[in-house]
Amino acid sequence: NAGVTQTPKFRVLKTGQSMTLLCAQDMNHEYMYWYRQDPGMGLRLIHYSVGEGTTAKGEVPDGYNVSRLKKQNFLLGLESAAPSQTSVYFCASSAITGDSYEQYFGPGTRLTVT
Amino acid sequence: DQQVKQNSPSLSVQEGRISILNCDYTNSMFDYFLWYKKYPAEGPTFLISISSIKDKNEDGRFTVFLNKSAKHLSLHIVPSQPGDSAVYFCAASVGSGSEKLVFGKGTKLTVNP
């Protein structure tokens, strides 16, 4: 049981390049989330999904796209990377329990855009 | 508009003493609160939570207190250990069905031996 995994762990992009971050969870969770963490800013929600085939915007969605084609995977895409997207990206998942809002996080992807 | 606020960026305590981390919120619709711990180069890990219908939840050395009238919650760690040194995030949820969390900016706790 690996929990939540993210690939890659590190990436350096040039401005204008594109890339996709992959998140996978093996806990059969319905909900999945993408966050970014910047110094002094805490965790900010980019996009989230409440089930396979669904996506929704979070607090800071501009410049990102997501897809949830399979329940266990949640992809985050950057079509044209900008230096402002230099950040650490975390994926998380959670189950529908009705009385618990605990999210399980992956180890993060450190992205640098030059 | 910052809905969840952790006004102390850092806190330093001696091993064996109590650590108290504070969190304030502005949205009265929040009905569930969580604390996460984060070590460098790792993802946040869940620590403890509390529903808005309670005012206290305890789990070993960790206790969370909720004061709804003041829109304030706190995390107490007793006794503090060097391994508790990490960044602690407070988070809150409206429970709208998506289970979205709003996070504070975090407090870096350092426990000195």
Does residue A98 carry a pLDDT above 70?
no
Tokens describing residue A61: 């969605």
* B32: nearest CA partner in chain A: A101
Residue A48: which of B41, B100, B105 has the nearest Cβ?
B100
Which chain B residues are closer than 8 Å to A3 by Cβ? none
Regarding beta strands A10-13 and A109-113, do their DSSP bridges make them parallel or antiparallel, or are they unpaired? parallel
Strand ranges (E), B26-113: 32-38, 45-51, 56-59, 62-67, 72-77, 86-93, 102-103, 107-112
Report the pLDDT averaged over residues A28-34: 94
Which chain B residues are closer than 8 Å to A47 by Cβ? none
Please give the pLDDT value at position A46. Answer: 96
* B108: nearest CA partner in chain A: A40
Angle at CA of residue B36, ends A57 and B89, nearest 5°: 75
Please give the pLDDT value at position B85. Answer: 98
Does residue A96 carry a pLDDT above 90?
no
The mean of the pLDDT values for chain B is 93
The per-residue pLDDT for range B17-61, each reduced to its tens digit, is 999 999 999 999 898 999 999 999 999 999 999 989 999 999 999
Please give the pLDDT value at position B98. Answer: 59
Inter-chain CB proximity B99 and A4 less than 8 Å = no
Tokens describing residue A70: 């399979």
Inter-chain CB proximity A103 and B89 less than 8 Å = no
Angle at CA of residue B25, ends B22 and B28, nearest 5°: 140
Please give the pLDDT value at position B100. Answer: 84
By mean pLDDT, which of A48-57, A62-71, B78-87, B96-105 is the weakest? B96-105
Does residue A109 carry a pLDDT above 80?
yes
Please give the pLDDT value at position A1. Answer: 67
Please give the pLDDT value at position A99. Answer: 63
